[in-house]
Amino acid sequence: MSVGVTCALRWDRAGSDATAGTKDSGNRRKEDDDLMSKESTGGSSLPDCSHACGPCSPCRRVMVSFKCTIAESCPIVYRCMCKGKYYHINLWLQPYHFSTIHGGFTASSLLLRASSGTMGFLMEDLPEELLVNIVRRIDQTADRNSISLVSKRLYAIDGEQRDFLRVGCGLHPAIEALTSLCIRFPNIKKLEIVYSGWMSNLGKQLDNQGLFVLSSNCHSLTELTLSFCSFINDSGLAYLSSCRNLRSLKLNFAPAISSNGILSLVVGCKNLSALHLIRCMKVSSVEWLEYLGKLGKLEDLSIKNCRAISEHDLTKLGPGWNNLKRLEFEMDAYYRYPKIYDSSSVEKWLMHQGSYKNLRELSLVNCIIAPGRGLSYLLGRCEALERLHLDMCIAVEDTDMIALSQKSRNLTSMSIRLPSQFLAPVFLSSPLRLTDESLKALAINCSMLEVFELSFSDGEFPSFNCFSQSGILALVQTCPIRVLVLDSACFFNDSGMEALSSSPYLQTLKLIKCQEVTDKGMQLIQRCPLLTNLNLRKCLGVTDSGLKPLIGLRKLKYLKVEDCPQISEKGVQGTAMFISYKQESSWLY
């Protein structure tokens, strides 16, 4: 009984050098052939399958599937070709598996060589299970498209296994092309239709009829994104209500869609757990939000620049707050002041005071957080909050931050972008009152805080009554801060860099427009024990001399320098394993 070829699809040796894949394709092909020859002649002894199907001649046995991880035995399946049966054994093999390391077989190269017979077996010898496994491991769309052209079997398997598509201006004619795609890929779960940059000469956009085709053919659809789809209105969303498995809908600039369309969709799609509305100007009344609140399945809600929706409308979610885990609310900066605010809305926020306990991620942009307003109350009631992002929010006070720190003790990431006090004309009589007291409260109560980002909207006119360098350093020295980002922090200087050099947890430091930091402070950064990532952007005080101690030190893994006019491309060479350098001086003028 003859023994067939055992094949390794692609390998990743433990401790291999990531740069070893720079050889030319000719040498790589030769190494592949040598490996295959070695595996076929000197490999492990293969079991005799005569006990299962009886002695037969001729007989070929080939490895048809395997799954292995580092330092584990690989379950191998051999097939007796004459009887078409499968027999499982366990062999100890080197950790050969799919990876992105250069130098081994890619899944596509394996299939191409199999189709030509150069691997020692033919494509028809490979069972469906192995081919499906290979296709699933190919992530890049271009590679998937290439694989599907190898054979009819792979074309069919790719059609069955493809679960994500992203289409847009190239979809022409739109209805016919989408129909073909739905037939070709019937098991699509995630679809993105993006018409960014569309012009009339590119052909007609997808309209309501396209969504009818989609709902009629793609019954497995769970995630749908519609961006810049100007010809889809409420009737189109009504077609989607038949997509019972739809769990996520993202609408980005859908000018023809109103509240009625959203309501018809949420009534039909009762499993909807994520809803993103971005620049949907006609969405006003929020009956749909009340309905989602009653269903209680919404976990992710994002509303950005929908001018007709205010913070007061969020209370309509009602009991749905109990299940909400992520909230992203962004007001249009030019429409936040004219809103007539109903002071009684605070009472409605109070009605659900025990419902915010599951909120883990909160992002508020261009909002007014002031005493007597609902968002101020929300900020201090999120027990499970882990990530907080406050961007250009007006009238935030120390009391808000202290209440937040006392309630949200699981906070791991905080990002704050503060407006200049000159950008808040309504509150000139009561300027921003965020001081180091807020940072001290965070340091005392939020012992899990790992990421802290602080930026000012205008470096020339910062908020004077605000954080100081000592407050930032107290936070870094008390909490296990791994990532620190400072943008336009005019108070941060070389003394602060000296204090950071002894930070025991800091791994990533990003400085943007920190003009008080000079070479003296930058030279101290080499002392920071765990620092591996350094990002400098628009820092005028740092020159090549500041980075010189890092040359040849092999301390940094990543160094990114952008628009720092006194740092040359030559000055960054040898400072890190991976270097990104970009110089654009137009921002100075």
Look up the CATH number of the domain holding residue 234.
3.80.10.10
Is 92 among the domain residues?
A: no
Whether residues 320 and 171 fall in one domain: yes
Q: How far is CA 499 from CA 287, 448, 470, 527, 534, in A?
A: 53, 21, 10, 10, 16
In a domain, residue 226? The reply is: yes
Radius of gyration of the chain (CA): 30
pLDDT band at 308 (very low <50, low <70, confident <90, very high): confident
Taking Cα atoms as reference points, which of 64, 72, 62, 63 lies closest to residue 95?
72
What is the Cα–Cα distance from 525 to 491, expressed in whole angstroms? 18
Q: What is the pLDDT at residue 71? A: 36
For residues 214 and 238, the answer to whether their CB atoms sit within 8 Å is no
Residue 336 has a pLDDT of 62
pLDDT confidence band for 364 (50 / 70 / 90): very high
Q: Which residue has the tokens 């052939």?
A: 33
Name the residue with higher pLDDT: 355 or 447. 447
pLDDT above 90 (res 496): yes
Q: Which amino acid is at 420?
A: S
Residue 400 contacts residue 376 (beta carbons within 8 Å): yes
Question: Reading across the β-sheet that carries 74-80, which strands appear in turn?
Answer: 61-66, 74-80, 85-91
Q: Are residues 239 and 308 in the same domain?
A: yes
For residue 66, pLDDT over 90 is answered with no
Q: Are residues 312 and 227 in the same domain?
A: yes
The strand pair at 223-227 and 85-91 is best described as unpaired
Q: What is the mean pLDDT of residues 72-79?
A: 40
pLDDT at residue 202 is higher than 80: yes
Could you tell me if 213 and 269 lie in one domain? yes
Task: Report how far residue 508's alpha carbon sits from residue 500's, in angstroms, rounded to the nearest whole number.
Answer: 11
pLDDT at 485 over 70: yes
Taking residues 39-64, report their average pLDDT.
42
- Distance, in Å, from the CA atom of 416 to the CA atom of 414, rounded to the nearest integer, reads 7
Q: What are the residues whose beta carbons fall under 8 Å from the beta carbon of 393, sequence distance 6 or more?
A: 364, 365, 366, 367, 368, 369, 419
CA 363 to chain centre: 16
Does position 98 have pLDDT exceeding 50, yes or no?
no
Same domain, 146 and 203: no
Report the chain's mean pLDDT, rounded to a whole number: 78
Kindly state the DSSP code that residue 571 receives in the 8-state scheme: G
Pair 144, 169 in one domain:
no
Angle between helix 469-478 and 436-445 (nearest 10) = 0
Interval 403-428 mean pLDDT: 78
Confidence of residue 89 (pLDDT cuts 50, 70, 90): very low
Among 161, 188, 204, which residue terminates a domain?
161
Structure tokens belonging to residue 211: 């969504």
82 — pLDDT class (breaks 50, 70, 90): very low
Contacts of 376 (CB under 8 A, 6+ apart): 369, 370, 400
Residue 67 has pLDDT above 60, yes or no: no
Q: Is residue 281 part of a domain?
A: yes
Give the chain's domain count.
2
Q: ω into residue 338 within 30 of 0, thus cis?
A: no
Q: Is the pLDDT of residue 332 over 80?
A: yes
Please report, rounded to a whole number, the percentage of residues in the chain having pLDDT higher than 70.
Answer: 71
Strands (E), 367-514: 387-391, 413-418, 451-456, 483-487, 508-512
Pick from 55-64, 161-170, 336-345, 531-540 the range whose average pLDDT is largest: 531-540
So what's the pLDDT on residue 375? 80
pLDDT at 58: 40
- Looking at the fold, whether 197 and 312 belong to one and the same domain comes out as yes
pLDDT for 6: 32
User: Using H for helix, E for strand and C for coil, what is the string for 170-225?
Assistant: CCCCHHHHHHHHHHHCCCCCEEEEECCCCCHHHCCCCCHHHHHHHHHHCCCCCEEE
Query: The domain containing residue 261 runs over which residues?
Result: 164-328
d(CA 495, CA 524) in angstroms, rounded, equals: 10
Distance, CA of 319 to CA of 408 (rounded, Å)? 21
Same domain for 134 and 213, yes or no, is no
What value does the mean pLDDT take over residues 426-434? Answer: 55
Rounded to whole angstroms, how far apart are CA atoms 560 and 533? 8
Token pair recorded at residue 529:
């024990």
Query: Is the pLDDT confidence value at 351 over 90?
Result: no
Tell whether the model's pLDDT for residue 59 goes beyond 70. no
Of 473 and 587, the structure prediction assigns the larger pLDDT to: 473
DSSP for residue 222: -
Cβ-Cβ contacts under 8 Å for 113 (sequence gap 6 or more): 105, 119
Using CA atoms, how far apart are residues 568 and 76, in angstroms rounded to an integer?
55
The neighbouring-strand residues paired with 397 are: 433
Residues 132 and 252 in one domain: no
HEC readout, 18-67: CCCCCCCHHHHHHHHHHHHHHHHHHCCCCCCCHHHHCCCCCCCEEEEEEC
Residue 559, pLDDT above cutoff 80: yes
| 151-155, 487-491, 537-541: least confident range | 151-155
Cα–Cα distance, 471 to 437 (Å, whole number):
8
> Is the whole-model pTM more than 0.85?
no
The Cα–Cα gap between 308 and 16 comes to: 57
Provide the pLDDT for residue 61. Answer: 42
pLDDT of residue 324: 94
Rounded to whole angstroms, how far apart are CA atoms 177 and 193? 13
Q: How far is the C-alpha of 274 from the C-alpha of 301, rounded, in Å?
A: 6
Is residue 356, in this structure, part of any structural domain at all?
no
Query: Which residue's structure tokens are 């037969």?
Result: 56
Work out the pLDDT band at 341, boundaries 50, 70, 90: low
Would residue 319 count as lying in a domain? Answer: yes
Backbone dihedral region for residue 71 (phi beyond 0: left; psi -120 to 50: alpha; all else: beta):
left
pLDDT confidence bin for 22, thresholds 50/70/90: very low
Same domain, yes or no: 134 and 277 = no
In this predicted structure, what is the pLDDT of residue 106? 52
**Residue 143 scores a pLDDT above 90:** no
**8 A C-beta contact, residue 36 and residue 119:** yes
Residue 549 has pLDDT above 80, yes or no: yes
- Poorest-confidence range of 99-108, 317-326, 333-342, 388-397? 99-108
Tokens representing 306 are 């929908």
First-to-final CA distance of the chain: 80
Whether the predicted pLDDT of 459 surpasses 80: no
Residues in the chain: 589
Domain end point (choices 271, 306, 328):
328
Mean pLDDT, residues 301-321: 90
pLDDT of res. 343: 58
Same domain membership, residue 157 and residue 179: no
> What's the rounded Cα separation, in Å, for the pair 474 and 442?
10
140, 161, 182 — which closes off a domain?
161
DSSP string covering 267-293, please?
Answer: HH-TT--EEEEES-TT----HHHHHHH
Specify whether 169 is located in the same domain as 267.
yes
Instruction: List all residues 6 or more positions away from 8 whose beta carbon is below 8 Å from its beta carbon.
Output: 35, 39, 93, 94, 96, 104, 105
CB contact at 8 A, 279 and 252: yes
CA distances from 515 to 91, 166, 416, 547 (A): 62, 43, 20, 16
Q: Tell me, what CATH number does 142's domain have?
A: 1.20.1280.50
* Whether the predicted pLDDT of 5 surpasses 90: no
Mean pLDDT of 187-208: 91
Q: What is the predicted pLDDT for the residue at 337?
A: 56
